[in-house]
Amino acid sequence: MKMKTYINSKITMLFVLVLATVVSCERDISEEASEVGFTNDPEIFIDGFSSGLEYYPFGGSDNDAFTVDTEDTYSGSASMRFDVPNYGDSDGSYAGAIFRDDNGGRDLSGYDALTFWAKSSQAGTINEIGFGQDFDENKFLVTLSGLNLATNWKKYIIAIPDASKLTQESGLFWYAEGPENNNGYTFWIDELQFEKLGTIAQYRPSIFGGEDIVVNTFSGVDLPITSMQNTVNLSTGADQTVTIAPGYFNFTSSDTSVATVSELGVVSVIGAGTAVVSATSNDVDALGSLTITSEGQFTAAPIPTQNPENVISIFSDAYTSEPVDYYNGYWAPYQTTLGQNDINVNGDEIIKYSELNFVGIQFSEDVPTIDVSQMTHFHVDIQVQGAVEAGDFLTVKLQDIGVDDDFGGENDTAGEITLTNTTLSDGNWVSIDVPISEFTGLTSRANLAQVVFVSDATITDIYVDNIYFYEISSEPTTAAPTPTIDEANVISVFSDAYTNVAGSELNPNWGQNTVVTEESIAGNNTLKYTDLNYQGLQLGSTQDVSGMTYLHLDYYTVNSSALNAYLISDGPVEAAKALAAPTSGWVTLDIPLADFSPVDLANIIQLKFDGNGDVYLDNIYFYN
């Protein structure tokens, strides 16, 4: 309280200086005091804890690993002793701690290295050792990995990457070390301090481990800068490389309308175009860069809706995918296709193929083949980049290698489907759902090994996502969606939700082969046509539906490849509407009655279906 009074009374700068000392003794730094700077005390542990130093072991480490040793010292009366536990020690599986200045930090800008003397009870390699870890932002963290200790006292140096950053550093020292070959051991550190050696030079910062990285990506993607390091040359002539925090770098984007970089080294892609992200540290250009080619806004493929329990995924973020050998085998000598799972839009991976002629995803060499014999359907989402013209095609081939689990032999089978310009679309995702049975020739699928795409360069650039197999039960496991239309606006033929037209004949004998049954699906009465060739439905009375707008029906078929619905008026006059089949679950259709022209909507007497396969029908009604 006394201190506050002095500050408020506008004392002189000299007095503030005095206060700084008082304040640091009380471990209560005022804002005014901070203006005069923090102590440049270089000492961490010479013969005891330096002023402000506190010990904080890591969670899970042996809290008692560190002690002060007054017998075995390099110099003076005490050293720091670290007892690394044995493997499996119940007190903690490793030794590790930070040593922090709790007086608010120190001004280390006048030094160029952390130095200490050390020895160990046996030759050991400290996993990680350094400074800048403060259990807060770790803004100026420096980590030297793999410091080799000998059984005699030797001096060690850890270079500061850019001392000008360290004007208020609390993280004075930290280490983490586990057992050597499961055995614990002891090492000692003495004369631990910061020094101005003057012999550390040739600062060579790097990002991405010095590599020049190129990525194709989209707006909205965040890319972390990784492998940030600094290499210096020591007076011994040896280089030393340490891993350093983003705080030591100044990052630059060559085009901030394409990508920006945060102080924490996270690149945010915000627009279309090309930008190069580079960095400097300590006024030295860092080795390594990130060149971003952004396609701008990205539209993700439709999110798959199949229940994961019924899916075997090759490539999808919606499911747990099976491991693969590769997404592009670069099959020599004829393959031109480049690219694989290169695109990651915030966790959504997408395969990008360019210069496509053919390319294969394989899962047979280093990973198991995949048994899709229980699956019924194949799904893939494809977006073509570039005009799709007549004659362009994309063949999707499935390769099974048989029970010998090896290519060749008598038991390899394969089948393919071909997508053409009538299906594929420039710049739009197209979802392909086909019964595996359409991959004619794929007679076994218990040892699936490859998914191959072939375009013969008719289409050269595609995005691919959500490659998976799924099982649709031949019988629906859920009821058709319950209708929501008000009964007053409905004339119902077949539905549990409404009062149906009385006296209708669901299975009139028109000479058909179709077997008609009524099945309870999840408690809901459902009409089933087995082995459909054609099938009529005779209404109990002639219906005037001219006041109605739609014919509604729900249908479900896993094995029909042709299906038509007919409306028949007195005469008879009939008209057909083709229904997409097979389905991947219940399909709800609202067919405009106008589509059945010239059927007389005032005199509807019958409905009819023809086609093939087994078809479930429900909620057949007219409404407006």
Partner 1 sequence: MKKLKYISSFLALAMVLLIACDTDETQTVTNFDNLVMEDNFDINGAPDSNIWDYNIGTGSNGWGNNELQYYTDRSENVIVEDGVLKIIARQESYMGSGYTSARLLTSGKFEQTYGRFEARIQLPWGQGIWPAFWLLGEDAGGTQSWPQIGEIDIMENRGQEPTLINGTVHGPEYSGGESITKSYELENDRFDTGFHIFGVEWGENYINFYVDDVLYNQIKPTDVTGDWVFNHPFYIIINVAVGGGYVGSPNDATVFPQEMLVDYVRVYSAD
- # of chain residues touching partner 1 (CB under 8 A): 11
Whole-number Å distance between alpha carbons of 139 and 334:
50
Using the rule CB under 8 A, give the single segment among 13-21, 195-203, 315-323, 478-486 that binds partner 1: 195-203
- The SS3 assignment for 587 reads strand
387 is an interface residue for partner 1 by CB under 8 A: no
Query: Shortest distance, CB of residue 230 to partner 1, whole angstroms?
Result: 14
Other CB atoms within 10 Å distance of the CB of residue 425: 13
What's phi and psi for 142, nearest 5 deg? -130, 130
Give the distance from CA 95 to its chain's centroid: 33
Question: Applying CB under 8 A, which part among 15-23, 230-238, 426-434, 436-444 lies near partner 1?
Answer: 230-238
Residues 164, 202, 227, 257: which binds partner 1 (CB under 8 A)?
202
The DSSP string of 528-591 is EEES-SEEEEEEEEEE--TT--EEEEEEE-SS-S-EEEEEEETTTEEEEEE---S-SS-EEEEE
Q: Select 34 or 233, whichever has its Cβ closest to partner 1.
A: 233
Indicate the residue among 114 and 245 with the shorter CB distance to partner 1: 114
Q: Return the range that interacts with partner 1 (CB under 8 A); candidates 72-80, 197-205, 330-338, 519-527.
A: 197-205
Which residue in 88, 146, 198, 347 binds partner 1 (CB under 8 A)? 198
Kindly state whether residue 233 participates in binding partner 1, applying the rule CB under 8 A: yes
Q: How far is the CB of 239 from partner 1 (least distance, A)?
A: 5
**DSSP count for the chain of H helices, then E strands:** 3, 42
Q: Name, in order, each residue with C-beta under 8 angstroms of 14's C-beta and a sequence gap of 6 or more.
A: none
By CB under 8 A, tell whether 525 contacts partner 1: no
Closest distance of CB 199 from partner 1, Å: 5
Sign of CA dihedral 127, 131, 134, 139: negative
CB of 233 to partner 1, least distance (A): 6
Contacting partner 1 (CB under 8 A), which of 201, 214, 303, 580? 201
Residue 304 makes CB contacts below 8 A (sequence gap 6+) with: 311, 316, 318, 319, 379, 466, 468
Q: Is 197 in the site for partner 1 (CB under 8 A)?
A: yes
CB of 236 to partner 1, least distance (A): 8
Q: Please, what is the minimum distance in Å from the beta carbon of residue 196 to partner 1?
A: 7
Residue number with CB closer to partner 1 (237 or 511): 237
At 66, which helix (H) or strand (E)? strand 66-69
Among residues 75, 235, 373, 525, the one that binds partner 1 under rule CB under 8 A: 235
Residue 212 phi/psi, 5-degree rounding, is -95, 105
Pick the stretch among 55-63, 231-239, 425-433, 612-620 that binds partner 1 (CB under 8 A). 231-239
| Nearest CB to partner 1, comparing residues 240 and 431 | 240
> Counting Cβ atoms within 10 Å, is residue 162 exposed (0-12), middle (13-18) or buried (19+)?
buried
CB of 280 to partner 1, least distance (A): 18
Is 237 a binder of partner 1 (CB under 8 A)? Answer: yes
CB of 151 to partner 1, least distance (A): 26
Instruction: Give the bridge partners for 158, in sequence order.
Output: 114
The tokens describing 230, both together, are 């600094």
Closer residue to partner 1 in complex, CB, 197/576: 197
- Distance (Å, rounded) from C-alpha 314 to C-alpha 391? 29
Q: Taking CB under 8 A as the rule, does residue 146 contact partner 1?
A: no
Question: What's the angle, vertex CA 79, arms to CA 78 and CA 84, rounded to 5?
Answer: 140
Enclosing H/E stretch for 420: strand 413-420
How big is the chain, counted in residues? 624
Q: Candidates 196, 209, 346, 366: give the one binding partner 1 (CB under 8 A).
A: 196
Q: Examine residue 209 and tell whether it contacts partner 1 (CB under 8 A).
A: no
Cα–Cα dist 194/186, whole Å: 23
Q: In what order do the strands lie in the sheet with 448-454?
A: 358-362, 448-454, 393-400, 413-420
In angstroms, what is the minimal distance from the CB of 197 to partner 1?
Answer: 6
Check: CB of residue 617 under 8 Å from CB of residue 592: no
Interacting residues with partner 1 (CB under 8 A): 196-199, 201-202, 204, 233, 235, 237, 239
